[in-house]
Amino acid sequence: MSHTLGIRQAQKQKTRQALLDAALALLEEQSLSSLGLREVTRAVGVAPTAFYRHFRSTADLGVALVEEALGSLHPMIRTTVSATGDPEERVARAIDLIARHVDGYPAHVRFIARERHGGVQPVREAIREQLARFAQEVEVELAEDPVSRGWGEGDLLMLAHLYVDQMLSTASLFLEVLEGPEEERADRTRHVTQLATRQMRLIGLGRQHWLD
Amino acid sequence: MSHTLGIRQAQKQKTRQALLDAALALLEEQSLSSLGLREVTRAVGVAPTAFYRHFRSTADLGVALVEEALGSLHPMIRTTVSATGDPEERVARAIDLIARHVDGYPAHVRFIARERHGGVQPVREAIREQLARFAQEVEVELAEDPVSRGWGEGDLLMLAHLYVDQMLSTASLFLEVLEGPEEERADRTRHVTQLATRQMRLIGLGRQHWLD
DNA sequence: ACATGCAGTTAACAACCGTTCTCTGGAATT
DNA sequence: AATTCCAGAGAACGGTTGTTAACTGCATGT
């Protein structure tokens, strides 16, 4: 099934990826709506016109970045909220997974947090779609938990959205820690972990007593 | 105490406010990091160099916009979460207040949601500070509720932050409705109201059972 | 009445932007 | 071996940007 790409196409994908990487790096200090096409090509070391061989515009590149940042995250989501182990352990596992992800892909996390409400409409739309998919997958996982026995139609989805928002908020907090001075990192990581743990725990309690 | 401003200073504040208004309008379709100084002055009808009489840079203007958008919100916060009436009524009142605020100041809400994680560091910092103040005020209000009897030190603040995040998230959803087509507005407003109500209710339940 | 202060104007600068058109060299196809 | 295809290069375009300097006119304080 996997056909070896020709030298031609392989080289093209390589510069395409270089453009995406350079853009992501440049977006650490600005928003997508101010990212220039020449700025990106300059960072890669190619002519400005080469950009058009891969993307119609920087907004188009932004949509591609959304796929890269969120598309590969779906398999992880299910295990994050999977219903194995006691509640307390599940919370700890989920937060640990978030922290690891932020550590591994800080630029991706920043990009999503920044452009979710950013100034480029197609990118906002793409993020909205992906997050809605996440919520649906979380919903499926939540439905399998005995605690959700007898829940109404919209109730599961509203809890799923609450969880997704909470994950993003927590990821953003971990990112802020990562951006701060290194000597405060350990303390602040503990602090954020504690805060997120309590919030998750409280939401879990509300979940348990939903049908009262 | 209120000293009548001279013609001089009054006119200055007038153009300053015009710059802020124009910037806010321009920021509906882009992020602050791509907002040009000339763009703003052109919209007001004033020379580009006049900008410097009021702001050092567009980032500086952004910080001023944060004050305008959030500074006047503090008195409202307390009444929003004040502990009067039964829980169900309080939730409805809070969400109604949020909806009204989004309706009255949509551009302010969009600006805060967009620039909270935006590409301009001083503005992010200013928003972070204001939101932290909000959380503190919410904490004070929560402490007066009998339900919070016996809560630990950090617990109240973590709940306060959860509420603040929830308010912002809800406001953002109402804003999306406002940006959509008019014929869907009524339905989608009901939908968002219902979603936010359930989430608030669930958090309230978690709050009631926190000390188990 | 006169001198000062200062919000806003005018003009000019070098630097940057997105986009178009033309060209080239080497991989892909025949 | 000859031909086609196409990722990337090069040059040029009209237009925009932030910033500087020197100015004007009017409200202000003496």
Nearest to A64 by CA among A10, A18, A117: A18
Q: Which residues, in sequence order, are CB contacts of B174 under 8 Å at separation 6+?
A: B98, B99, B102, B103, B109, B189, B192
Rounded-to-integer distance, Cα A71 and Cα A77, Å? 11
- Out of B116, B199, B205, closest to residue A209 by CB: B205
* Measured CA B56 to C1' D20 distance, in angstroms: 15
pLDDT of residue B78: 81
Mean pLDDT score, B173-184: 98
Nucleotides of strand C within 7 Å of the protein's CB atoms: 6-12, 16-22, 27-29
Q: How far is CA B27 from CA A23, B23, B107, in A?
A: 22, 6, 8
Domains and CATH numbers, chain A: 7-56 (1.10.10.60), 68-208 (1.10.357.10)
The amino acid sitting at B117 is H
Q: What is the model's pLDDT at position B3?
A: 67
Q: Which of B68-77, B107-116, B142-151 has the least mean pLDDT?
A: B68-77
> What's the mean pLDDT in B12-28?
98
CA of B64, C1' of C5: distance in angstroms: 25
Q: Are A120 and A132 in contact (CB under 8 A)?
A: no
The pLDDT, as a whole number, for residue A44 is 98
Instruction: Judge whether A32 and A57 are in contact, CB under 8 Å.
Output: no
Give the pLDDT band (50/70/90) at residue A3: low
> What number is the average pLDDT over the span B161-181?
98
Mean confidence (pLDDT) of chain B:
95
Binned at pLDDT 50, 70 and 90, residue A1 comes out as very low
- pLDDT for position A4: 74
Res. B153: pLDDT tops 80:
yes
Q: Are B208 and B146 in contact (CB under 8 A)?
A: no
Structure tokens at A86: 């006691």
